[in-house]
Amino acid sequence: MASASIPASPSPWTTPHPSPPPTYSPPLSFPPPEDLVPTVTRLHDIYSSVDLPHQTSRWHALVARFKALYDRPMTFVARSPGRVNLIGEHIDYSWFPVLPMATVHDVLVAVCVLPQNDPVADDRIILSNVSSSKYPTRVFNTRDFQDPFFEISTTGTDVDWSAYFLAGLKGALMFSKLCAAETSPLPTMRILVDGDIPPCAGLSASSAFVCSSLLAVLAATTSSTIEKSFLVNSSVISERVLGVNSGGMDQAASVFGVRDHALLVDFRPLVSAKPVRVLDTVPPLCFVLANSLVVTANRAETGPDTYNVRVVETVLAAEILARKYNVGRLEIRDGFGGTLRGFYDRVCEQEGWTMGDRESEERAVREVVRRVQETFDRDQYSLDEVAEKLGQKTEDMVRKYMTRFPIRAKYLNLRDRSIHVIEESFRVKCFSSLLASSTVHLRTLSGSESRPYFDALGALMNASQASCANFFECSCPEVDELTQIARRYGAAGSRMTGTGWGGCTVSLVRADKVADVINGLKKEYYAVRYPGLSASQLEEAVFAIRPGNGTALAKIEDV
């Protein structure tokens, strides 16, 4: 399979060299306020004026439901949003930067912490969910938990909704002990969850739930402030309780989100997020989200056949490439294996290349892709063949790489997965550089003058979609169709977003073309494939989106 083309773009940022792995020790000094999970007292601190009327009604309903259910007021609400990945799919677990944005849609975990002298204090956690009325085909039974929590299974082929809360609970307990935080024993808690992120749509509802659950337990058991990077790292590890080898993009986007900004999320040397404003062009650039209504892979349930296999393929490819080209032992990600970013950086060091200009970056990408194609001359290898290339016995390879997280695969595709990761990482650099340039010199451009800018961004998104479909094989026919329709009706670019195998697309659209794109999708996709959808269901399936704020702890007296 030929390598996908990489559109030209301005100079991207420099690729940093490998650094020591992250640690989870308590900070030696107090971080600046912007690095802490904020505590907010007004809904306006979370939502924009456009979204405030709807969200105010929603929070009023949550307060009333909580009081009716538990006869107690809420102590606080832990709130984490979903995310839309603009570009950089399936490269976070190879430690390459990605470019997501937080959404307005979120998961709210409302908590009442009962003092020991309360008449109903019983050391129990009662967990309820208001989402049953929104998603009548899904089951959200009330759960009642008591110690010992670690005897409760959160893995299996049919993961209960409460497992995501338990993952956050376990993570909060584990990391508070690890960091020697001043914590209290688990108090009696009454909890009500309200989520408006469509489940199994590739918008990271599960990660948002784990983030908000972990934050809720930490807030209930400690008075310490919580660093955003700590919450991200803790949430990543917590979600792995569910058997998901998460890379960290979803959690970082949810926690670090900034209104009207995308986030350039990097994972080396530690997780960080650089806000990049996205709304400064004339006409403004907008994003349209379209749900294929094909249920995307629930990573906790189908990961052994899809997501976890892709992680293993990229890790094994990196290890084999490092061995063949004698670049030295790669830095290990989370005790699991080397990364393609580690190999890429070592090649650049080996060749003496200084990154920072487009020509050098593209030369490095081409060279690494050449080495990938030289090493893997076909797309499918049996486990025995992969082990031979790795210089290990098959049983040793399986034990090391394919048992920590569940895997079901007889053949692995190391070539195409690696090509996607390397070229997608370059597209992220180009896209983020273009977005950053919009805040410098594109604010006063007329529509005709800004057309090449939109086209350049769109070409990168389209190349990403082609690579996801052909190299990483994580798209599906319905998603492919949505992207094609969106482009026909005026989108500069359109691609899948999220884990894949269903879920949503995100399209880059000029503000004056948004209505055309949405109407075109309704006419050619939803009216044909889902003719029975109501007007309200259509509004929930396809709509314009804006980047929203990230995780917050809300203590609002008067909603």
Residue of 505, 518, 521, 526 whose CA lies nearest to 544: 518
- How far is Cα 341 from Cα 268, in angstroms, rounded to an integer? 10
Active-site annotation holds for 416: no
Helix, strand, or coil (residue 113): strand
First to last CA, the chain: 56
Instruction: Read off the amino acid at residue 276.
Output: V
- How far is Cα 249 from Cα 236, in angstroms, rounded to an integer? 9
Residue of 122, 120, 121, 142 whose CA lies nearest to 131: 142
| pLDDT per residue as tens digits for the range 524-539 | 999 999 999 999 999 9
Q: Is the peptide bond prior to 148 cis by the omega test (within 30 degrees of 0)?
A: yes
Q: What pLDDT sits at residue 178? A: 54
**Residue 407 confidence (pLDDT) above 90:** no
CB 453 within 8 A of CB 442: yes
Catalytic residue among 194, 196, 250, 480: 250
Q: pTM for the whole thing?
A: 0.88
- How far is Cα 504 from Cα 320, in angstroms, rounded to an integer? 34
DSSP structure class, residue 337 = B
Per-residue confidence band for 140, with pLDDT thresholds at 50, 70 and 90: confident
Q: If you average pLDDT over residues 315-333, what whole number do you get?
A: 94
Instruction: Read off the amino acid at residue 300.
Output: A
Residue 439, exposed/middle/buried by CB under 10 A (0-12, 13-18, 19+)? middle
Q: What pLDDT sits at residue 135? A: 65
Q: If you average pLDDT over residues 368-378, what whole number do you get?
A: 97
Contacts of 215 by beta carbon, 8 Å cutoff, 6+ apart: 37, 78, 80, 109, 168, 226, 231, 551, 553
Query: Among the ranges 156-160, 298-302, 331-335, which has the highest mean pLDDT value?
Result: 331-335
Q: If you average pLDDT over residues 357-374, what whole number do you get?
A: 92
- How far is Cα 167 from Cα 418, in angstroms, rounded to an integer? 31
Residue 480 phi/psi, 5-degree rounding, is: -60, -40
Instruction: Read off the amino acid at residue 504.
Output: C
Q: What pLDDT sits at residue 145? A: 83
CA 460 to chain centre: 19
| pLDDT per residue as tens digits for the range 116-136 | 899 988 889 999 999 766 666
Two tokens, residue 234: 């803790």
Average pLDDT of the chain, as a whole number: 86
